[in-house]
Structure 1
């Protein structure tokens, strides 16, 4: 006999489960996360915020509905909402990383008398050897290269992984040390990254017709309405293409900085189709606003089915330290470029004194966990300033968590570049020094800074007064962070949110309209972490 719980009891039980799961985020430190800071130096933000009430009951931007155990999102007057960020990281849900069987074990060459290969040659040879092995369909991996404890001399070498299914793992970030001197190309300018993970054979082809979007799509929406949904079905990989027309750029007052036209796009999967209403529902919300007022029949936004071949996936780097032993010219000598690959990770890695953008990610569904980037050499005080960690277009569904950036006081720490479209999440990580955490340059969307800590730094979603810069972000969120300075503006016909943060001051934003800034205590009390709350809710529904 099977007992079936009555519907009303099931609803109550779901509510209890939801409340318990979401309350787990309360373990995140919420007050004075820097013990060395003088007590009282930081205060909650209480200056100029937007707050809404209905019959005396606060309406939060994101809250838990006790009746349905679902998260509820309050729209702006234009209909935009904070997007759901839960689909980031490995496999699109920050999935547990698999155990990968070791196929090759390497020891430092100076400890091996029976080899005539250098450490760098041995590592690249092992990568090539693994690339020829078959993939295990249960894990997506061919095997792992185990670097033993000890010092590996890889000066003058750089490593390329352009095949799926390879893990490079050390003993730990304190026991396996790679001494690097990233080489400069013959032209004296280009510098290879120590590690490059790439998809050199990737092709993306449109399949079928371009279906025009015929109804404005608010940011945070999970569907689009088309002139025809014919030909789309659940599981299809699609691209949403949004032309940033001259009319839209003029509305944003960015003509002098952005020119007359740009275009951006995102990849999604079709979750279901309503053929009668020509509505296509998506697995992940849209991170920007597709406003038909600024489009035309000759420049429409559209949905199109795509097929991708040759994209590398399932690559991991973990458990080692890499040290750049030679100071290169400013901007050169990077540690890692993760190109257009997917379902990969970097875990428990330390990188010391690499130049330029120390690490750049343009892939999809990537987890970066326990990363420690250290600069002992100050960055440039004038001229171009580089990032410690940057997400660049078309990078999306990137999760950076539990990481630390040290040094580089004039650098940008956790950053996105032009038109990087989310969801992208920086979670529970720290930067020391006075660096900025910010989107940079041209209008990235769908970024979440959640439970981040910057004692002397700045979190900035602003209008940068430089050519090719302008409004750096739209539809992005700073949630429960600790920072010295907070700068959050509201671009025209867009939104940015800052909720529950501990700050010393609001930065100078000139005549810009402030974003939706709410002080600690106004945010829903269950949601100390927006990302963890959304992740818990996604598991239950």
Structure 2
């Protein structure tokens, strides 16, 4: 079933996000009805005369005062399922003399139109943007024991989003990212739940957390950010009017320099056991305390299963004491440990891979040196020069007729009001995304021009650094 919650004008007004950007030059960032709808993909497990039970939580209240919601049955036989990517070392070949080179691969792995999938034990090096990105049409995905290393590209949005989710029922566990912009993040209207468990960000260039408008049901559990912050904050006009970025979300026993936690109208956000400076109107509880359970995710998993999970044995424990007057034996032990490097998630992942090896079934696999690749040269496109003859445009001696099309200025938005009815664009670039309102497929664009009898396009000039 698809459970749909509309983003009505009344709800947007209650949030105050209809006024975002009223004091900036371009009135483009306020929230509009329909742009922040939430869609949960669920399975019905039980029904009564007046209730329906589904297999996973609904992460935002379905309130009759704000338009209620609806349920729709759907069929999707073509959806990919029960697939995985594992044991790979992925490297994007970049210019070693250009530390900001972007003329190479942006995304290592993206997941779309898929359910019950996994990515594990993958190292991604030098990619401009994501090691793993999970898009809206993906659900029930696990990403574990993965690393994003040494990204190469500019410092800015849509770059260095090491582990990013727009999906639902997505788990990132034991993942490591270095020098990212948003190392671990959810995008706008990610319906959730999305969980980041034992994830580690080293020297990021911006925060981890919710970066777009109204990601709900986000969990950061035992996450560590070295030299950066975590945020479920209110961003106002930033990020195309992100406004309230997170709702009904939780930081559990996380470590960072700062944690930004705001409480949006109609919802709540919490932080428990934080080792960070806390900011914002959300509920900060039991700061600088070592909490039990060590991980709320694994504790709830054990509760649901009725028995301990094997993943619980892979928790990197925080074993220390807050006392300023330790016993001699404890002080001696801590002194001994201080002579050894700290165990970080980067080497913890390696130790888990060694301790729990995967069985390789390579008996019938074809090895790379044995592959016989047919090198094919792509056919050259025939040249059809356009000529001006006697004031008329011709091609191969024939008169060109039809209409002249025009692209529009792309403002960097992927909201529904734009993507559902986008004008064509030759240079619009949304990393990892191809389709209407995203990165235009040029063959599809040409076919559409032919169908509409458009013989040429006037290109709106790019106003910033273009990737096409």
Match of 2:39 in 1: 265
Match of 2:320 in 1: none
Alignment check: 8 A CA contact 1:428 1:450 kept? yes
2:24 is the alignment partner of 1:254? no
| Matched position secondary structure for 2:87 | strand
Q: Deviations over 1:134-185 (max 9, x none)?
A: xxxxxxxxxxxxxxxxxxxxxxxxxxxxxxxxxxxxxxxxxxxxxxxxxxxx
Match of 2:230 in 1: 459
Greater RCO between the two (CA within 8 Å, min separation 6)? 1
How far the C-alpha of 1:492 sits from its partner, in A, is: 0.7
Within-5 A mapping of 1:21-36? none
**Structure 2 portions without partners, runs of 5+:** 21-29, 96-100, 308-468
Q: Distance in 1 between matches of 2:31 and 2:298?
A: 36
Within-5 A mapping of 1:96-495? 238-255=1-18, 256=20, 257-262=30-35, 263-275=37-49, 278-295=50-67, 300-327=68-95, 328-329=101-102, 333-362=106-135, 363-377=138-152, 379-380=154-155, 385-392=159-166, 395-408=167-180, 411-434=181-204, 435-466=206-237, 467-495=240-268
How far the C-alpha of 1:365 sits from its partner, in A, is: 1.1
Q: Whose Rg is larger?
A: 2
Q: Distance in 1 between matches of 2:104 and 2:222?
A: 29
C-alpha change, 1:330 and 1:250, in structure 2 (3 Å) is farther
Q: Deviations over 1:162-220 (max 9, x none)?
A: xxxxxxxxxxxxxxxxxxxxxxxxxxxxxxxxxxxxxxxxxxxxxxxxxxxxxxxxxxx
Q: TM-score, normalised by structure 2?
A: 0.58
Q: TM-score, normalised by structure 1?
A: 0.50
The equivalent position to 1:519 in structure 2, one of 261, 264, 286, is: 286
| Matched position secondary structure for 1:293 | helix
Q: Distance in 1 between matches of 2:148 and 2:105?
A: 16
Q: Distance in 1 between matches of 2:262 and 2:57?
A: 22
Q: Distance in 1 between matches of 2:189 and 2:104?
A: 22
How far the C-alpha of 1:521 sits from its partner, in A, is: 7.3
Match of 1:74 in 2: none
Q: Deviations over 1:347-366 (max 9, x none)?
A: 11100010133421121111
Alignment check: 8 A CA contact 2:253 2:272 kept? yes
C-alpha change, 1:454 and 1:425, in structure 2 (3 Å) is same
Q: Distance in 2 between matches of 1:539 and 1:468?
A: 40
Q: Distance in 1 between matches of 2:64 and 2:104?
A: 41
Match of 2:305 in 1: 539
Q: Deviations over 1:76-132 (max 9, x none)?
A: xxxxxxxxxxxxxxxxxxxxxxxxxxxxxxxxxxxxxxxxxxxxxxxxxxxxxxxxx
Alignment check: 8 A CA contact 2:4 2:70 kept? yes
How far the C-alpha of 1:385 sits from its partner, in A, is: 4.6
Alignment check: 8 A CA contact 2:82 2:117 kept? yes
Q: Distance in 1 between matches of 2:103 and 2:209?
A: 21
C-alpha change, 1:330 and 1:261, in structure 2 (3 Å) is farther
| Matched position secondary structure for 1:308 | coil
| Matched position secondary structure for 2:212 | coil
Alignment check: 8 A CA contact 2:129 2:151 kept? no
How far the C-alpha of 1:480 sits from its partner, in A, is: 0.7
Higher strand share: 1
Alignment check: 8 A CA contact 2:128 2:152 kept? no
How far the C-alpha of 1:331 sits from its partner, in A, is: 9.5
Alignment check: 8 A CA contact 1:331 1:357 kept? no
Alignment check: 8 A CA contact 2:221 2:295 kept? yes
How far the C-alpha of 1:376 sits from its partner, in A, is: 5.0
| Matched position secondary structure for 2:10 | helix
Q: Distance in 2 between matches of 1:331 and 1:496?
A: 39
